[in-house]
Amino acid sequence: MTSSGRPGSPLRPPAEEDEGFVRRVLLRPFKSRHPGTMPAGLVLVIMVLGLSLAMVLNAGATLRKSNAKGDGWRNGVATVIATVSDTFQFTFARSRIDAALGKNQGSGIDAAELVRRQQEAEVAQQQADALEAARRPPVITAPTAASPVHLWVGGDSITQTLGASLQRVIATTGVFTSTLDYHVSTGIARPDYFNWPEHLVKGVLPKDQPSILVMMFGANDGQNMTDLQGRALQRGSPEWLAEYRRRVAATMDLLKSPTNDRLTIWCGPPPMGPGSKVKGMDEINYIISTEASTRPWIQFFDTWPFFSDANFQYTLEAPNADGARRVLRQKDDVHMTVVGADRVSWAILNRISKLVDLSAGRIAPPASEAPPPEIVERTEIPPTMPGAE
């Protein structure tokens, strides 16, 4: 008879009994009855251990989220877990893991800092969008005979002849209406005599509402002027050139349409004859062209090649597309003849046709009025021209 009361059962010490109990209770559940599978008990233990490990490794992030939400009892639990994690340096292990993976979890950035960074990112994106919009060229609706585009042409006395010629030339297309607005002895140098920027903004733009402007200044600007502080500036000096550039840039900015549907063709002045005593047109051309290059709503038109020889020097006469030589300038060596104005007007229309869809119009320049095809604008405008007046 054994101690258990069963026949044939040997008597075992209590220690062996306890060890057998542990083996039966704890180890038996981890022995799968089906080869190749994991017992449910072992799966449960692994899940608990994994969740516990994740909880202490993410203790810092959990506490920040709990603080942000203002949870009561969850905040208390998260605080305890974070304390344990810090005590045993589990967060250090998490930081090393994140660093190895190239992450920046648990950076300690508070909610206010995240909001500030988000706002800065939004402002930067808005500025980038505004810059991109400023780089887009104006969009002018393609004109038709039933819905023509209105063109305004104006400037100093040179545009008296040029403007009249341009009006006649664009009228042949059948898709333009126009306004001529010139003022003798005016320019940008003497706003006390005639203020062109003010006239454009307060008069031309709201009253005429042109979609296209063609303008020219410069012939009267080769004189001394004063800056905003009232200081006298010597014509052609570095200070004079800087002030003239500032005025050109400010005028160009005033001409930008908020809806980006207005185009300005800013014509540089042509070379002046030696007897005119008008100087500095090459420097003015350089300023206008370089300022226009940064503003897509302003297109610089280079009149210089249409009134100069092969070396870009002033010429009184030149052949048109028909080969016949004609006089291009009046006796003062400043103003254009009708022939000279027609010659450059067709070139201006050709430039406009590259920026606006004029396919509904008729563009057929007579050879006796148009420049030869080899006469084109310069690709680069030098700051000064050798021998230029």
Out of 74, 101, 128, a domain closes at 101
Task: Give me the phi and psi of 170, to 5 degrees please.
Answer: -70, -25
Top-confidence residue, 218 or 57: 218
In a domain, 24, yes or no: no
Give yes or no: residues 38 and 178 share one domain: no
pLDDT of 105 strictly over 60 = no
Question: Using 50, 70 and 90 to split pLDDT, how confident is the model at 122?
Answer: confident
Structure confidence at residue 103 (pLDDT): 54
Decide: residue 169, CB within 10 A, 0-12 exposed, 13-18 middle, 19+ buried.
buried
Domain with 144 in it: what CATH number? 3.40.50.1110
pLDDT of 22 strictly over 60 = no
pLDDT digits (tens, 9 = 90+) for 357-366: 999 999 999 9
In a domain, 327, yes or no: yes
Residue range of the domain that includes 210: 139-355
In a domain, 129, yes or no: no
In a domain, 155, yes or no: yes
Top-confidence residue, 64 or 117: 117
Structure confidence at residue 108 (pLDDT): 58
Give yes or no: residues 96 and 149 share one domain: no
pLDDT of 344 strictly over 80 = yes
pLDDT of 90 strictly over 80 = no
Structure confidence at residue 126 (pLDDT): 77
Of 119, 219, 159, 181, the residue nearest 341 (C-alpha): 159
